[in-house]
Homo-oligomer: A and B are copies of this chain.
Amino acid sequence: MSFSPLVDQLLESLRVLPGVGPKTAQRMALHLLEREREGGRRLSAALSQAIEQVGYCQRCRTLTEETLCSVCQDPRRDETSLCVVESPADMLAIEQAGGYRGQYFVLHGHLSPLDGIGPDDIGLDQLEARLAEEPVGEIILATNPTVEGEATAHYIAEHLVGREIKISRLAYGVPMGGELEYVDGGTLSRAFQGRQPFSRD
């Protein structure tokens, strides 16, 4: 026995969500049907609306339902600085941290030759086209501090050699507020390599 066909179909469909296995899908489906039909209706509509209308910013490739995202539309942003990130979530995290006032470029992933993900799949042709048109003086490579993110940053940096563009990478080191004993060895040795003169300010 299982649930009725429409309930089973809902259960199955919920499995598309990351981290949702059979038990969680069942709990979600019953919760929606037993206690949250109004919320479920709103979710169905919001999902379909986002899927049909949200595309990519023509300039930075982040997710947006408009031609240009709010950052790219903002005339007060610095046009000479461009931050390259792997995902819209990374771009949001940097915006929420505050301080950075330049432009972005979203790769939607990283290079992964084994998975057949090459330079054009992460939009590097589009990045080149953008550099030809805009007065970018510095590119900040803010890909993830992972093997793939590193490799992608290196690939981009090498392809920009010869241009009049300063290339930088986010600083590596111990995270603020953490305790040293819980920081992994790789991060610690990077923090040693990148040590800075102590400032008394």
**A positions within 8 Å CB-CB of B:** 1-7, 9-10, 12-14, 16-19, 24, 26-34, 36-37, 39-51, 53-54, 63-66, 69-71, 87-89, 92, 95-96, 108
Contacts and interface: CB of A to CB of B under 8 A. Distances in A.
B6 A53 contact: yes
B2 A92 contact: yes
Nearest to A49: B6
Nearest to A9: B46
A89 to B, nearest CB: 6
A6 B64 CA distance: 8
Contacts of A108: 34
A133 to B, nearest CB: 24
24 contacts: A1-B70, A3-B88, A4-B63, A4-B70, A6-B46, A12-B46, A13-B47, A16-B39, A16-B40, A17-B28, A17-B43, A18-B31, A19-B27, A26-B89, A30-B63, A30-B87, A30-B88, A32-B47, A32-B50, A32-B51, A33-B63, A40-B47, A44-B51, A45-B48
